[in-house]
């Protein structure tokens, strides 16, 4: 099985916010610093190298791409000032655009579409809020139809609903 390198892949990453992807010289400080790599098969350096080599299909379908918590330890320690988290986010954006997303994440994105918040409101918290003397419904998009409509228009303009598939 031979993989055909996609030479455009790095340019796509650069266009999506990962401008420093070609700066990496593979020292491995990122992997050694990564709290996720300590627990999982996630190898930061490897993913960046795969990006440089144009291994688009492998990167965009990899589960490991989603094991980063965006703690920024790698970015802070990188001797080449590679904005590693931005590169991973760019690759995640490309993965999602190609239809690769997980159910748990889709649920969070769907909640944002539905209510303008990533966490849904419920009766328990309404009661807790009232007991504390707070407004039952926080004074956010949750309390204003006009604000929610405005918020919806922003998501429509960016095509977020289509991206999420809702």
- Whole-angstrom CA distances from 108 to 98, 101, 148 are 19, 12, 17
Give yes or no for residue 23 binding another protein (CB under 8 A).
no
Residue choice 11, 35, 80, 166 for contact with another protein (CB under 8 A): 35
Interacting span for another protein (CB under 8 A) from 1-9, 24-32, 50-58, 98-106: 98-106
Q: Which is nearer to another protein, 54 or 86 (CB)?
A: 86
Cβ closer to another protein: 50 or 91? Answer: 91
d(C-alpha 3, C-alpha 50), whole Å: 11
Question: With contact defined as beta carbons under 8 Å apart, do 78 and 125 qualify?
Answer: no
Identity of the residue, 3 or 105, whose beta carbon is nearer to another protein in the bound complex = 105
- Shortest gap between Cβ of 1 and another protein (angstroms)? 28
**Nearest CB to another protein, comparing residues 52 and 77:** 77
What distance in Å separates the CA atoms of residue 7 and residue 87, rounded to the nearest whole number?
Answer: 16
DSSP-assigned states of every residue in 58-118: HHHT-SGGG------HHHHH-TT---HHHHHHHHHHHHHHTT---HHHHHHHHHHHHHSSS
160 binds another protein (CB under 8 A): yes
Which member of 49, 80, 105, 114 binds another protein (CB under 8 A)?
Answer: 105
> Does 93 interact with another protein (rule: CB under 8 A)?
yes
**Nearest 5°: CA angle at 37, between 33 and 41?**
155
Token representation of residue 131: 């007991």
Residues of the shown chain interacting with another protein in the complex, contacts defined by CB under 8 A: 16-17, 35-36, 39-40, 66-73, 75-76, 83, 85, 89-90, 92-93, 96-97, 101-105, 107-109, 112, 116-122, 125, 128-129, 132-134, 138-141, 143-144, 146-147, 150-151, 153-160, 163-164
């Amino acid at each position: 099985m031979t993989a055909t390198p996609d030479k455009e892949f790095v340019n796509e990453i650069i266009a999506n916010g990962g401008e420093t992807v070609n700066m990496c010289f593979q020292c491995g400080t990122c992997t050694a610093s990564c709290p996720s790599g300590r627990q999982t098969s996630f190898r930061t350096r490897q993913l960046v190298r795969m990006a440089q080599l144009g291994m688009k299909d492998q990167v965009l379908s990899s589960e490991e791409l989603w094991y980063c918590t965006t703690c920024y330890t790698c970015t802070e320690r990188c001797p080449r000032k590679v904005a590693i988290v931005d590169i991973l986010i760019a690759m995640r954006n490309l993965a999602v655009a190609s239809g690769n997303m997980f159910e748990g994440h889709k649920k969070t994105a769907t909640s944002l579409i539905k209510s303008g918040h990533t966490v849904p409101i419920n009766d328990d918290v309404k009661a807790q809020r009232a007991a504390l003397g707070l407004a039952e419904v926080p004074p956010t998009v949750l309390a204003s139809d006009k604000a929610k409509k405005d918020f919806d228009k922003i998501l429509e303009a960016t095509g977020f609903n289509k991206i999420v598939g809702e």
